[in-house]
Chain A
């Protein structure tokens, strides 16, 4: 069975059932951007080295957000690094991920009026099973029931960095759980370590940015 893109899974884990984000949008966007880069890197489309990010294979991975990044990286002549591309992708990844989830029927756009006056649009889950599926690999890895593959380790690392561990409903102390999630990513491949570490740093830098 084809698994949904990493950023779709992360989006679902990082929102509650009513569509409310569990973390600040700037943190969320950086996490989703990291997921897009990891999707491409783990699919052998990108190589991230100290010399910068480069394209290995320009064939589609079947995800509009990830596929649209490849031509951008191909056009870049300065071999920008992971941090640059994470910030670049983060500019619009949140809206694009949400729209693709709506198009796929995973989310429903619902408009209500608050206090009978203010219009508010939420993107609610169509079926809770999609979140359960997104969480299952991470839960199994944390509980030690399954050996995580690189993709699962990447998702664990991003869930840990975004501190949305409560969505896993594992009943463990948060600090311990986040430590375990990060640990899984650190034991994984170099690219997972690098991207997760970069997202972590950029989230901190966004928190102390002068303007946003």
Chain B
């Protein structure tokens, strides 16, 4: 049997212009993941992993490669622009789709807030005269104006930004390796990969729960399935490629940075929030610290927030159109062709939460743990969707792809969730509990979840 390849099999027609190739898809995934993402959370990952950030990122990459495989299976089954919300809803049942959408909403709603906070902390290291909270307001204001004006990332701009980020990364790696060869930092060792003195599985998986943040966004590639020149097969390939590419880049940069950390013992005890920039200072001096922090601010605070805003708007729109969230979130500004209500909601949330988190010492840690918690729960359900859709319902004989791989992926993610930040686990559970109550309310109100997202209406409303 040929794989289901066409949206037309679901009563929909091919709406979006197919024009995005494999390279564009990979670049889009990379801009969402940010190739220099570890710059911002390196210290946190280093301290949480007992000085083994390389192992942490490797495990994170492997875990998410299994998730990408499950995404590829669901994209193949349902080649619709959507998210895990769509796949779980169609693969298992609409109420499960609602709860999965609710779980990943935690990720999508909080991600812009974290991006603004990290960008503000990064730029504050370069311009300390302006406090973090003021930078945060500036970033939110600039991005909100850009989004409300309808300025959108283009394929060309995506490529330019990725090249700029890769150039900064290459600069750090060249200067860093040169510095190591000159005897600065510590000599080459495998300790960042495996340190028998500090190693324990719970420790490493706890760190993976933070490091996985750097990979989030690869799933954003699935939003482009209807525009992909190669259909769902190309989307699956792009996800794998983007993850591997990002994983290699992450491993390279944290390995070099780990060998350049000026005070490894101190960093193991407490993350200062500027660990990567301190390592850059050891490698090349103050100028390299400024270059890396400015690159972090621009890539997190501007480029990534633009794509994050699109992702959250699409999810809010899809759920609101399906009458699973208040209908005002599905309303758009026709004048500027933007989801104005969703944009303003995200901006308000980012300001309120961001200002609060900027006063907490563990603000970045807590926010990233919460975001990861939402994403990890949603990814676990995605694996279940593959098993239910293919094995339980479809009686698929391909047990390796449709049962074994999802089970392995799910097992790794469950272990990561179990070892995550306790507060994040509690908040994640509360969030899911609220979602269950909302779902109950929908049933009581006679609005049981149905999926219509991104479909043309059968008749005018």
On whether the two chains bind one another, the answer is yes
The answer on a CB contact under 8 Å between A185 and B460 is yes
Q: Which residue of chain A has its CB nearest to the CB of B335? A: A23
Determine the main DSSP class of A at the interface with B: helix
Expressed in whole angstroms, the minimum distance between the Cβ of A85 and any Cβ of chain B is 9
Interface size class of A (residues with CB under 8 A): 35 or more
CB within 8 A of A200: which of B335, B338, B460? B460
Most chain B CB within 10 A, of A163, A197, A198, A210, is at A210
CB within 8 A of A210: which of B8, B14, B223? B223
Expressed in whole angstroms, the minimum distance between the Cβ of A192 and any Cβ of chain B is 8
Residues of B within 8 Å of A211, CB to CB, are 20, 152-155, 224, 227
With A186-B460, A193-B459, A197-B461 in contact, is A207–B333 under 8 Å at CB? Answer: yes
Residues of A within 8 Å of B224, CB to CB, are 210-211
A76-84, A95-103, A130-138 - the one binding chain B:
A76-84
Query: Is B16 engaged at the interface, CB distance under 8 Å to the other chain?
Result: yes
Interface size class of B (residues with CB under 8 A): 35 or more
* A55-B404 Cα distance, complex, nearest whole Å: 51
| CB-CB contacts below 8 Å: A156-205 with B | 161-163, 185-186, 190, 193-194, 196-198, 200-205
Expressed in whole angstroms, the minimum distance between the Cβ of A52 and any Cβ of chain B is 8
Residues of A within 8 Å of B339, CB to CB, are 204, 207-208
The answer on a CB contact under 8 Å between B310 and A80 is no
The answer on a CB contact under 8 Å between B330 and A81 is no
With A193-B460, A197-B461 in contact, is A24–B13 under 8 Å at CB? Answer: no
The answer on a CB contact under 8 Å between A208 and B456 is no
CB within 8 A of B13: which of A22, A83, A197? A83
* A23-B334 Cα distance, complex, nearest whole Å: 6
* A32-B337 Cα distance, complex, nearest whole Å: 15
Expressed in whole angstroms, the minimum distance between the Cβ of A148 and any Cβ of chain B is 16
Query: Is B457 engaged at the interface, CB distance under 8 Å to the other chain?
Result: yes
Residues of A within 8 Å of B330, CB to CB, are 204
Q: Which residue of chain B has its CB nearest to the CB of A31? A: B334
Expressed in whole angstroms, the minimum distance between the Cβ of B356 and any Cβ of chain A is 28
CB within 8 A of B337: which of A24, A80, A84, A194? A24
The answer on a CB contact under 8 Å between B457 and A197 is yes
Query: Is A17 engaged at the interface, CB distance under 8 Å to the other chain?
Result: no
CB within 8 A of A198: which of B317, B321, B456? B456
With A204-B332, A206-B337 in contact, is A82–B152 under 8 Å at CB? Answer: no
In the complex, 8 of the A-B residue pairs with CB atoms within 8 angstroms, ordered by the A residue number, are: A23-B334, A84-B13, A193-B460, A207-B313, A208-B313, A210-B314, A211-B154, A212-B337
